[in-house]
Amino acid sequence: MIRVLAVFFGLWLGLCLALLVGGTLGHLRMVSERIGWALPGWVAALDDDSGFTSGQGRLESASLDWRLTGWDGFDLRLTGPDWQATGRAEPEGAALRIGALRGTLPLDWLGAGPGMLALDGGDLLVGLDGEIREGRIDGQASGAVVTLLWEGGAWRNANR
């Protein structure tokens, strides 16, 4: 009996690891269609060949890339036509904590006004449903220090 349980556990663990390493969003979409489970809406903009360890897709008008680095998080890159921002995402319960924000980002992409924001840091908590739960973005725009806070579903400039 112990041997049967050990074999079963070994096969189950191997299948889980194969799915994490080799499974793609295309596979997940196929399974969700067959069993009737709906995927979050934000995954529609991700490429079919994206997986857990790396992938790409679109986030509004920007290109999103991620890569698992180490055991504890992902390196993220968000690229627009003439800008690029990077960050580090780490799991936190049923959400991702995104920090180490660097690069340049258009303020109007965030709905926070005109101009470009040079990122100096910040911290976002994004649920697995794609919704921002809390956030703070620090940077500089037009030579002034800017702190954006996520409040009531929109970014607010805390320096005004």
pLDDT of residue 24: 65
pLDDT of residue 112: 79
| pTM flag (> 0.85) | no
pLDDT of residue 25: 63
Q: Which residues of the chain fall below pLDDT 70?
A: 7-28, 160
Q: Do 69 and 127 fall into the same domain?
A: yes
Residue 45 in any domain: the answer is no
Q: Do 72 and 109 fall into the same domain?
A: yes
> How many angstroms separate the most distant Cα atoms in the chain?
70
Residue 48 in any domain: the answer is no
- 106, HSE (Cβ side, Cα atoms, 13 Å): 12
pLDDT of residue 8: 65
pLDDT of residue 59: 84
Q: Do 61 and 124 fall into the same domain?
A: yes
- Cα separation, 65 vs 108, in Å, equals 21
Q: Do 105 and 142 fall into the same domain?
A: yes
Q: Do 66 and 110 fall into the same domain?
A: yes
Which DSSP state fits 39? P
| Residue range(s) defining the domain that contains residue 30 | 1-39
Helix (H) or strand (E) holding 98: strand 95-106
